Amino acid sequence: MELTTVWFVLIGVLWIGYFVLEGFDFGVGVLLPILGRDNVDRRIMINAIGPVWDGNEVWLLVAGGATFAAFPEWYATLFSGFYLPLLLILLALIIRGVAFEFRGKHDSDRWRRGWDRAIFWGSLLPAFLWGVAFANIVAGVPINAQHIYTGNLFTLLNPYALLGGLVTLGLFLLHGAVFLSLKTGGDLRARARALALRISPAVVAVAAAFLVITQIMHGKPLTWATTALAAGALIGGVVAAVRGREGWAFTGTAVTIVLATATLFLDLWPNVMPSSTSPLYSLTVTNAASSPYTLTVMTWVAAIFTPVVLGYQAWTYWVFRKRLTRTPIAQ
């Protein structure tokens, strides 16, 4: 396998990891004012993701860095053409991180409500805009012969991309609700499970519509299989939630995100950023890649350090695996 292919796959894996792990973070953040009936509930919800949210964001940093190093042309066109949406995502993530740190610094309901709103919007905007961005990448955007994006913000806000935004937002909401039912106890656990069941029909419908449209427009024979498996995993996760099997329900939503993201990357290959102006102007794994020497060095670095990072993050999840209840917080 060529190193360009290896790094396309690795970048896809990094985005999959980011969406699976940060996805439930975003879902919990958006659900904070919905499920958090009082300050204790909201503290439980924040504590549920408190030990892991910043580690989950490392996947985004590594994905961005890997794209810059392995496919600089892709990085340049993507970040210049999608400048405003990516800036909004960056600002939202910054505000969200500050809110997690500052919320408990002052004993005031007004102070906490303000930071709770920051967590809500700082979670909702990225959850929606990542779907918009990736839908545009798969569908193609106007790029000229110099690999320069020639559209504007409204070019990106097309119906297909907005549907993609609704899909990621819906999947992350469901993923977050299932995570809360798995991670918390008592009344909050019951309400999280009930909410997951209420929103699941809409999430299934929107996700199915998006994936079918994607397959009709850009699909390949292999990705019809991954699409069907993603649909099966989502339905299986919902069935598990109905039966009160939170662990299997969380596995179902996680596998759905894995397969849905994999479908998008497989549909994209061998392009990394198709041009809607002319297929001749598309960025591919060949014309967007760094030199073989750069890719070789990156491969050795990734082979050495990736297992260390994965091991540390797995250990973190193991240490903080227990359910959270109101008792220790309310005392």
Q: What is the pLDDT averaged over residues 96-116?
A: 85
CA–CA separation, 182 and 173 (whole Å): 14
Angle subtended by helix axes 83-102 and 53-70, to nearest 10: 150
CA separation (Å) from 9 to 22, 89, 132, 272, 282?
Answer: 20, 24, 21, 11, 19
pLDDT at 161: 92
User: What is the separation, in whole angstroms, between the first and last Cα of the chain?
Assistant: 58
| Residue 328 buriedness (CB in 10 A; 0-12 / 13-18 / 19+) | exposed
Mean pLDDT across the chain: 88
Question: Confidence band (pLDDT; 50, 70, 90) for 330?
Answer: low
CA neighbor of 74 nearest in space, from 147, 164, 152: 147
Nearest to 321 by CA among 31, 51, 28, 40: 51
Task: Please state, as a whole number, how many other Cβ atoms lie within 10 Å of the Cβ of residue 220.
Answer: 13
Could you tell me the pLDDT band of residue 112, with boundaries at 50, 70 and 90? Answer: confident
State pLDDT tens for residues 16-36. 999 999 999 999 999 999 988
CB 206 within 8 A of CB 167: yes
Tell me the pLDDT tens digit for each residue of 74-93: 888 888 888 888 899 999 99
For 57-78, how does the pLDDT look when each residue is reduced to its tens digit (9 = 90+)?
A: 888 888 888 888 889 988 888 8
**Residue 76 tokens, joined:** 């340049």
Q: Where are the beta strands (DSSP E) in the chain?
A: 271-273, 283-284
Which tokens go with 312? 């540390």
pTM (whole model) above 0.85: yes
